Amino acid sequence: MLLVRGDREFLVEPGEEMGTDLGVLEVPEDVEPGTTIETHLDEAFRVRRLRGPDLFHHFERTGAPMVPRDVGLVIGETGISRGDRVLDTGTGTGVLTALMARAGASVVTYERDPEFAEVARENMRLGGVADDVDVRTGDLTDSVGELEPSSFDVVTLDTGDAPDVVEHVPELLVEGGFLAVYSPFVESTREVVAAAREADLSEIRTRETIQREMQFDDRGSRPSTAPVGHTGYLTLARNE
């Protein structure tokens, strides 16, 4: 649940007690969205059900999280939906992981940093997807040979060593399954594409993910002059 008042927002769980600058909030076990709860100083907060973008803003951060629009591209381009099995690496903050699980997938995700993995498990609990996500502590490159063949519908990679994993992807994916690799730099993207070709994956394509914020004011309408919104390169490929 999210407790909201003006620009203050707190991610809480039913039954939790939370100290704020406006007093202590005791969240009832049966708290309902659309209601109001008050601090011990009678300051009111509205209760909201969490939605995907709230996780991006409120999860404890470790590895740089994927922005919601790029998560949208991964889900839209691979068709992740209810019943899908997804292999994801690295977990990092777990924004991509949690949003794929909230779209209905069951996700196995690897995080090599044990502290990051612990934070990600807590984030999955806050995101309401702890039962749908298996956060495994470890380096995927050490374990990739032990995973069951053809056991995933989608593989998502958001790590610098993604090119080393791509060679194993045809064995892990079902026929028609998708690989999605997110890379901040063009050099690693080029290596991912070369590895996907070498692995004989099909429909290989890369897109830069970039969006321009629009400004509307009395003088006119135009893209914002603030820095352009490049976040990374998304490479997709399919197992035929």
With CB under 6 A as the contact rule, the residue among 4, 118, 134, 141 that binds ligand SAM is 141
Rounded to a whole number of angstroms, the distance between the first and last alpha carbons of the chain is 42
Distance between CA 146 and CA 40 in Å, rounded?
Answer: 53
- Tell me which stretch binds ligand SAM (CB under 6 A): 1-9, 15-23, 56-64, 73-81: 56-64
Q: How big is the site for ligand SAM, counted in residues (CB under 6 A)?
A: 23
CB of 163 to ligand SAM, least distance (A): 11
Cα dihedral: 25, 30, 33, 35 (round 10) = -60
- Position closest to ligand SAM via CB: 90
47 forms bridges with which residues in the sheet? 3
- Residue 45 binds ligand SAM (CB under 6 A): no
Complex with ligand SAM: residue 47 or 140, whichever CB lies closer? 140
Quick one: how many helices (H) and strands (E) in the chain? 8, 15
- Residue 93 binds ligand SAM (CB under 6 A): yes
- Residue 167 binds ligand SAM (CB under 6 A): no
CB of 197 to ligand SAM, least distance (A): 21
- Residue 139 binds ligand SAM (CB under 6 A): yes
Q: Which two tokens stand for residue 197?
A: 């070709």
129: buried, middle or exposed (CB in 10 Å: 19+, 13-18, 0-12)? Answer: buried
Distance between CA 115 and CA 213 in Å, rounded?
Answer: 35
Binding site for ligand SAM (CB under 6 A): 62-66, 89-90, 92-96, 110-113, 116, 139-141, 158-159, 161
